[in-house]
Amino acid sequence: MSTYPDNLKYAATHEWVRLEGDGTATVGISNHAQDALGDIVFVELPEVGATIHAKDEVAVVESVKAASDVYSPISGEIIATNATLGDAPETVNAVPYDGGWFYKIQISEEQELDELMDADTYSDHCEDG
Amino acid sequence: MAQHTSLYQKHLDSGAKMVDFAGWDMPINYGSQIEEHNLVRNQAGIFDVSHMTVVDVSGSEALEFLRYLLANDVAKLDEVGRALYSGMLNETGGVVDDLIVYRMSFGYRVVVNCATRDKDLAWIQSHAADFDVSIEEQPQLAILAVHGPEAIEKVCSILTRDRAAISKELKNFRGFESGSWFITRTGYTGEKGLELILPSIEAPGIWDKLLAVGVKPVGLGARDTLRLEAGMNLYGHDMDETTSPIAANMEQTIAWQPEDREFIGRQAVTDHLAEIQAGTMPILTGLVLEQRGVLREGQKVLCENGEGVITSGSFSPTLKHSIALARIPVDSGTCQVDIRGTLTNVRLVKPNFVRFGKKVFE
């Protein structure tokens, strides 16, 4: 697993976005984020159908170490959430870019994507601490 | 410059994530804290706790000195090798530190917390002046704690025949000296196991041997969730110099008899006992949250007759829900915890959650 997959866009607050090519996107937290949090024990996800704005607190991750807010990198309507995380939150630790996704969103403000980082920029962002 | 134990390189070799702990670079985990926690509950894990402070007390008045210094009564140690848990109190009955004291052939060995080393040594020295005692820190010693249902068997498999024979038969809270080693049945996890106090120079070799027989390294992260499940206090969190042992679930560690034994803080804690009975002093209790969410240190506990605070809280890997220690008013009926702005009902239980891998509260 690459630490910073090239096909994703990243927020400074360590969420990733994968464009699905049909006006929707999948959102999760980065490998850097899951590593910093340690073992994840609960994930609180948004309601399907909710309309959210970029930078809203959209989910909460509880690890053995701390509780942490997840901010939506983009605006839109939540169209699906990852039910797996209810029973197996550790999936986020194991495969943060794959089975550990958080939610899918119908994008409402395409231009917000321009504000997100590509893999190289995000990698530098993480290494700068 | 951070201090390193003699096992620093071994931790790196095992893929440890190192963190600063009171000036020491120590392993917080080697990948997954929960996996390490479960290893200790189900098999055997090894902790490097060489950062803890070992102080040897000898001299003709060592017994009298420790009977004055500690709230528990060292006179209970009727044989060499026996161990006792005690608080070391100040005059106002606050806890300077909690510790284990062992009776040794030369006198006594005291193991205190790492983060409190400087003030503990100063406190001990300041009171030692009136006694014929010698106080010597033993920084050349390492401490390896091996705990879990398979721990004793695994440790014995790598010890010399003589040491293994004695270690196998040790009862809880007993140990024995063997050359420069001290092997003892004490720990901080709620599981059976042995602690090996040995010269630092020998520790890496023993570490390798234990890993070779299948003992896995466990970091300080899992050590914290293990001790919390076992209902054991963590100094600086569940109690400190401003906390009475009576308000920290340590009443049983105060030796009230004989009545004529003078120890530091005796009058104060006697007063505290009356305050508990009058309902004016809080108690340390256990909290259980069986639904989603994690109780954390510092969260407010709202009770029918007042407010309390969580002193230690986490997710319990064994129980798969959150548990906590909290200091709350006595006779609190139902309580709620303010978890990130949401008032959540919690259940009050005795502050002891897991022993020998099993849930122990109702």
For residue B362, name the pLDDT band (cuts at 50, 70, 90). confident
pLDDT for res B109: 98
List the domain range (segments joined by +) for residue A71: 9-108
Task: Confirm whether A120 is domain-assigned.
Answer: no
C-alpha distances in angstroms, B252 versus A3, B85, B246, B267, B352?
A: 51, 10, 9, 16, 14
Give strand ranges (E) for B201-293.
216-217, 283-289
First to last CA, chain A: 21
For B45-62, letters b (16+ CB in 10 Å) and e give: bbbbbbbbbbbbbbbebb
Chain A / chain B CB contacts < 8 angstroms: 33
Task: Confirm whether A49 is domain-assigned.
Answer: yes
Tokens describing residue A14? 């360590």
Per-residue pLDDT reduced to its tens digit, B143-190: 999 999 999 999 999 999 999 999 999 999 999 999 999 999 999 999
Tokens describing residue B236? 């600086």
- Is pLDDT of A50 > 70? yes
pLDDT for res B94: 98
Report the gap between the CA of A20 and the closest CA in chain B (Å). Answer: 32
Please state the domain count of chain A. Answer: 1
Q: Is B171 on the interface with A (CB under 8 A)?
A: no
Task: Confirm whether A98 is domain-assigned.
Answer: yes
User: Closest to B294 (Cβ–Cβ): which among A38, A42, A93?
Assistant: A42
C-beta of residue B313 within 8 angstroms of C-beta of residue B350: no
The CATH number of residue A76's host domain is 2.40.50.100
pLDDT for res A127: 85
Task: Confirm whether A68 is domain-assigned.
Answer: yes
Considering just the CA atoms, what is the radius of gyration of chain A in Å? 13
Task: Confirm whether A114 is domain-assigned.
Answer: no
Mean pLDDT of B19-32: 96
Per-residue pLDDT reduced to its tens digit, B92-127: 999 999 999 999 999 999 999 999 999 999 999 999
Per-residue pLDDT reduced to its tens digit, A72-87: 999 999 999 999 999 9
For residue A45, name the pLDDT band (cuts at 50, 70, 90). very high
State pTM to two decimals. 0.95
If one counts every other C-beta atom within 10 angstroms of the C-beta of residue B241, the result is: 16
For residue A2, name the pLDDT band (cuts at 50, 70, 90). low
pLDDT for res A129: 56
What single DSSP character describes residue B248?
A: G
Mean pLDDT of A44-60: 96
- As a whole-number percent, the residues of chain A with pLDDT over 70 amount to 98
Pairing mode, strands B358-359 and B335-339: unpaired
What single DSSP character describes residue B192?
A: -
C-alpha distances in angstroms, B57 versus A15, A73, B40, B137, B354?
A: 55, 60, 32, 9, 34
Q: Is A56 on the interface with B (CB under 8 A)?
A: no
Task: Confirm whether A70 is domain-assigned.
Answer: yes
Chain A residues lying within 8 Å of B292, measured CB to CB = 42, 44
- Is pLDDT of A128 > 90? no
C-alpha distances in angstroms, A109 versus A74, B15, B209?
A: 7, 43, 60
- Is pLDDT of B324 > 60? yes
Mean pLDDT of B300-316: 95
Per-residue pLDDT reduced to its tens digit, B260-271: 999 999 999 999
Give strand ranges (E) for B205-352.
216-217, 283-289, 300-303, 306-316, 321-328, 335-339, 342-349
Report the gap between the CA of A53 and the closest CA in chain B (Å). Answer: 21
What single DSSP character describes residue A91?
A: H
How far is B49 from B5, CA to CA, in rounded Å? 9
Q: Which of residues 17-56 of B touch A (CB under 8 A)?
A: 29, 32-34
How far is B330 from B222, CA to CA, in rounded Å? 31
Chain A residues lying within 8 Å of B225, measured CB to CB = 64
